[in-house]
Structure 1
């Protein structure tokens, strides 16, 4: 539980608005650090993407953009931590349960056809997972 609290606190630093050009404002260093920290604390997650043969146009969009792919993976960690916090059930470490929870919560960028849409949806999903606004990997 301590690991999850530290991760969530790391993600929930301060409030920030979603700018018009989401990826242009992305702090890629912070994104990489948070993704690395999430993987270190929680271990690798089973993949819910097949970037070799993306099944939908939105997954082609995510798989074709390194920033969106990183946001996707970090978003998955945030969703799982939020799920564990809300249900008091340990999910991470049980690949079948992780896959079930990720399918249940869905992909926020599922209906997106543009990079901007996907970025904003991931930003909103982070905020929803945290339960309040927080600094969302954007440079101030």
Structure 2
């Protein structure tokens, strides 16, 4: 009796493994995500307004997928949140335009974003110039 139960259990395990393999082969034949290696990602488009939760569309051959994403609400840059740059220091204020600028070089392009290699950004000069107060000596007084 034990021998019969052991053989039956072994047969059930083998049949389950075969069914699982057939199911995986069926997914691959239908054109699963494993076939596509060159996904192209679009920009994150907020669901409402110009920031917050949104959707990013990805395409590869004839497949299209939508991924959840988020655009930070303090992100107002023209070059987008998917292009990461390393910036230098701000230049001195240009009194003729009332702006100061700085350049950045591309550090990372997320989701295969189409980013410029170098960019230049500007912002209005601050109305006040910051001055640091003179430091007082910390030595012992006699």
Is the shorter-chain TM-score for this pair beyond 0.5, marking a shared fold? no
TM-score (normalised: structure 2): 0.20
By percentage of residues, which structure has more strand?
2
Higher helix fraction (1 or 2): 1
TM superposition score normalised by structure 1: 0.20
Ranked by relative contact order (alpha carbons within 8 Å, sequence separation 6 or more), the top structure is: 1
